[in-house]
Amino acid sequence: MSAQINAQPISGANSGWLASLARNLLFKRLQQLHTGTLIVIEGEQRHVFGQPLEQHAELQVELIIKDPGSYVDIAFGGSVGAAEAYMTGDWECDKLTQLIQLFVRNMDVLDKMDSGWTVIQKPLMKLLHNLKRNTEKGARRNVAAHYDLGNSMFATFLDPTMMYSSGIFPRADASMQEASEHKLRTICEKLGVQASDHIVEIGTGWGGFAIFAAREYGCRITTTTISQQQYQLAKQRIEEAGLGDKITLLQQDYRKLDGQYDKLVSIEMIEAVGWQYYPTYFNKCASLLKPEGTMLIQAITITDQRFEQYKKDVDFIQKYIFPGAGLPSVSAIMDAVREKTDLRLVHLQDFAEHYAMTLNAWCQRFMQRAESIKAQGYSDEFIRMWEYYLRYCEGGFKERSIGVSHLIFAKPRHKQEVLSRA
C-alpha cells in the first residue's frame, strides 16, 4: 500500500523576506498568549511567550524551528499551515499534546491566527471541502479515503478487537483491549441487550461490536459498512468467530437500510454523516426501530458555542484525515432528533477523559511501530501526519474542546430505564 501525502506548504522556500515578514507577524500573535509558556527555539536563540519561565506554568512547551519557511506556513496558513509544516518536518516539539493544549487554553489567540492573513486560503479550502459532501456517492468516496488506507496499517496500532473508537477504561492501568471490551459491554448493558434482540448497527468498522454482542449476549445483528476493506476483514473475522448465523453483514449506505429492529447502535459514525444530513440520518434511525425500540450512538462532539463557526471552517482533520467529515454538537443532534423523529433522549454521558487515554495508547503504539508501517509503503510524511492527528485529538479531549458521548434515544412505547454505567 503506497500512501504519499500531498502536503504543500505555502512557503516554497526556506528563507528570505517572506519568512522574515511571517516571523514578525507570528511573534506578534504569540505575544498575546496568556496561559502556559511557549519557548520557540531558532538555532541558539530562545524566544519565550506567555507566562514567564519563573512562573513554572503547568504547560511549558518547546517548539524547535527547523526551517524558517515554517513561519510562512503558520502565519499565512493558520492551524492547517502549522500542521502541514509539522508533516514536512519544518518544526519539532518535545510535547506535541501539551502544545495543542496550550493553544486550546489560548483559543482567542488561535482564532486570530486562523483569521487575518489566512483568509487568503480559506475560501478555496471551504470550496474543496463542500465538494466532498456526504451524498451516497460522496460518502463512499470519503470513507474510502480514510478507512481503506489498509487493514494492516490499522492493525499495527489497534487492539485485537479492532475497535477504532474511544474505549472506556475500567482502571487507570487497564490495557487498550480491556478498555475496548469494557466500552462494548457498557453499550450492551445500557441498552439492556438480550438474546432475543435483533440489533441493527450503522457503521460496522471491522466487526468489533457485532462480534462482541453476538458472542457475549447471543443476539442477532445486522450491520453495514460502505468501506470495501472493512467489509472484507469484518466478513473474515465473523466467519473465524463462527458467528455467521448471528451476524448479517451488509455493504450499503445507511439510507438504504430497511426493516424493524429492537435496538440500533452506531459507534462514532455520525462524524462521517455531515451536518447537512443529520435530519436524514436520525429520520432513518427512527424508522428502523420498533415502537418500543432504543438506539445508542457514540459521538465525538464539539461544544455548542463553537459549532456554528466550526461549520464554516475547514480544519486539519477535515483536509487530511477525514474528508467530508464534521463533528456535531449535542444541540445539533437534539435539533435534528426533535424536528425529524418521535425519539426522546433518555440518557447522555460524556467520557472525554477516556478518549484522551485511548489516543495516547494508539499514538504510542503507532510510533513504536512506525518502521513496520513504513515497510508497508507509507511515507515519513504520512507517519508525521498521523502522529500529529492523534496528538491533536488527544489535546482536544484533554482540554474538553471536544468531547465523546453516549446518547440513548427511545421510541414512544419504550418504558425500561437505562442502566447508567461507565
What residues act catalytically?
393
| Cα separation, 53 vs 48, whole angstroms | 8
The residue with cell 471490551 is 181
Tell the burial category of 340 from Cβ atoms under 10 Å away from its Cβ (0-12, 13-18, 19+).
middle
| Cα separation, 268 vs 86, whole angstroms | 27
Torsion of the alpha carbons at 116, 120, 126 and 127, rounded to the nearest 10:
160
What amino acid is encoded at 269 in this protein? M
Report the candidate in 177, 179, 184, 183 with the shortest Cα–Cα distance to residue 161: 177
**Angle formed by the axes of helices 380-398 and 96-105, to 10°?**
50
| Cα separation, 181 vs 419, whole angstroms | 17
DSSP string spanning 201-219? EE--TTSHHHHHHHHHH--
| Biggest distance spanned by C-alpha atoms of the chain | 71
| Cα separation, 19 vs 8, whole angstroms | 16
94-97: Cβ within 8 A, 24+ apart: 94/61, 94/62, 94/64, 95/61, 95/62, 96/387, 96/388, 96/391, 96/392, 96/395, 97/360, 97/391, 97/394, 97/395, 97/398
Cβ density class 163-174: b for 16+ within 10 Å, e for less? bbbbbbbeeeeb
Report the candidate in 222, 248, 233, 255 with the shortest Cα–Cα distance to residue 140: 255
At residue 293, φ and ψ (nearest 5 deg) are: -75, 165
Q: Kindly state the cell numbers that stand for 285.
A: 434511525
Run of H or E including 296: strand 289-302
